[in-house]
A and B are shown apart, each in its own frame.
Chain A
């Protein structure tokens, strides 16, 4: 049978484990805004309205690049597009090199400033999902109509 010493050790470890989990949960909730990597457009607008973020604060915006919204301006030197989370759509401007995976209907994270209802991006990161398939399967899924829109578009 478990000795007294062993019981005491188990009790100490259980207590330590509970304390660790509780402190982690509290820290996780308290720092939630700094742990999240980006805000979707809806949340960013709400934060700007509530005064939690200003035009000079660098923030990250994340969502889907809206279909048909990408257009080149200034002779191709910069690009404008819209980021949507299905609820709110936010216009984005960016001057620079886009990552390979950047395309309409795909996830994107833009880093920059939210000013005058426009997001001025300084960095663009492409976000991809957890689905992997060869091109033929992607084409076949589209043909027989089982393609899920969140899977993006095949170029």
Chain B
């Protein structure tokens, strides 16, 4: 068991590893995003159809990609958490949720800013846009459920089930453009097709995608570390209250023997 990946599921080992990884990921994310943003916003030519609005593409696509992929991370973490009853796995899902929600919101806002000049509408209720909006609600509902339930074990289980149900909309967010006709265009980047994006746009886009992944790793590590510490604090508090209670009972018993019965 010592060499298996599960050793990092041990909170102590996770804290040690993430303490090293988080600052490096954060520094690399800052560098990569600075290069990516500078390159994509200032050093790319206008598109043959869309002129300068192509710049929105470099933020919209990575954000939308993370909106779906972070949800996939949450689904996997929730599944492992449910099956193995593993607290750190649940905490990974919990810490990923606000990051995913933020990327989803960025994707929706940049999409609106892009849709207005190109399509002629800020928002339309097509299958792609609607499923992304529902995905945002699942992120928020998931976080609300965690906060609504006092007992962390129960909260983890119920929130995980909600997360698994939402996987449907994460899946739809990704594939709606292929199942139904939508106003939103099809996927520009996919593994099984030739690229639809000219190299001058493709290279800075890849840098941006790498940047958002690094940013996600850094934020996730910090988030999970915070959650683990909050858990420890809670355990300490409970232990303290337990001790104080025991002490109180002892003094009461010593002062008035009748009350100890």
A–B pairs, 5, beta carbons within 8 Å: A6-B84, A126-B120, A128-B50, A131-B196, A132-B198
- A65 CB contacts on chain B under 8 angstroms: none
Chain A: how many interface residues by the 8 Å CB criterion? 43
| Contacts beyond the supplied A101-B120, A132-B54, A133-B198: 11 A-B pairs with Cβ under 8 Å | A21-B168, A37-B183, A99-B120, A101-B118, A123-B121, A127-B119, A129-B185, A131-B197, A133-B201, A137-B198, A154-B49
With contacts A99-B119, A100-B117 taken as known, whether A154 is within 8 angstroms of B48 at the C-beta atoms is yes
Interface residues of B in 78-122 (CB under 8 A from A): 79, 82-84, 117-121
Q: A24–B171 Cα gap in the complex (Å)?
A: 11
Assess whether B247 is interfacial by the CB under 8 Å rule: no
- A127 CB contacts on chain B under 8 angstroms: 119, 183, 185
- The distance from the CB of B122 to the nearest CB of chain A, in whole angstroms, is 11
Interface string of A16-50 (1 = CB under 8 A from B): 11001100100010001001111010000000000
Cβ contact within 8 Å between A99 and B196 = no
Assess whether B182 is interfacial by the CB under 8 Å rule: yes
Q: A60–B119 Cα gap in the complex (Å)?
A: 14
CB-contact partner of B119 in A28, A125, A138, under 8 A: A125
A/B pair count, beta carbons within 8 Å: 118
CB-contact partner of A13 in B79, B119, B179, B196, under 8 A: B79
The dominant DSSP class at the B interface is loop
- A128 CB contacts on chain B under 8 angstroms: 49-50, 118-119, 185
Cβ contact within 8 Å between A37 and B181 = yes
CB-contact partner of B47 in A17, A124, A132, under 8 A: A132
Interface residues of A in 111-138 (CB under 8 A from B): 123-138
Cβ contact within 8 Å between B180 and A36 = yes
Cβ contact within 8 Å between A132 and B201 = yes
Interface string of A130-152 (1 = CB under 8 A from B): 11111111110000000000001
- B164 CB contacts on chain A under 8 angstroms: 13, 16-17, 20
Binding site for B on A (CB under 8 A): 6, 9-10, 13, 16-17, 20-21, 24, 28, 32, 35-38, 40, 62, 98-102, 106, 109, 123-139, 152, 154
Q: A37–B180 Cα gap in the complex (Å)?
A: 8
Cβ contact within 8 Å between B181 and A36 = yes
Q: A100–B188 Cα gap in the complex (Å)?
A: 21
Q: A141–B48 Cα gap in the complex (Å)?
A: 12
- A109 CB contacts on chain B under 8 angstroms: 183
Cβ contact within 8 Å between A62 and B119 = no
- B181 CB contacts on chain A under 8 angstroms: 36-38, 40, 62
Q: A38–B118 Cα gap in the complex (Å)?
A: 18
- The distance from the CB of A88 to the nearest CB of chain B, in whole angstroms, is 15
Cβ contact within 8 Å between A130 and B118 = no
Q: A19–B118 Cα gap in the complex (Å)?
A: 40
- A138 CB contacts on chain B under 8 angstroms: 48
- Using CB atoms, name the residue of chain A closest to B165: A20
Those 6 A-B pairs whose CB atoms lie nearest each other, nearest first: A99-B120, A133-B198, A138-B48, A134-B45, A37-B126, A130-B188
- A101 CB contacts on chain B under 8 angstroms: 49-50, 118-120
CB-contact partner of A35 in B124, B180, B186, B197, under 8 A: B180
CB-contact partner of B48 in A21, A37, A134, under 8 A: A134
- The distance from the CB of A149 to the nearest CB of chain B, in whole angstroms, is 15
Q: A15–B119 Cα gap in the complex (Å)?
A: 42
CB-contact partner of A135 in B45, B83, B186, under 8 A: B45
- The distance from the CB of B61 to the nearest CB of chain A, in whole angstroms, is 10
Interface string of B151-164 (1 = CB under 8 A from A): 00000000001001
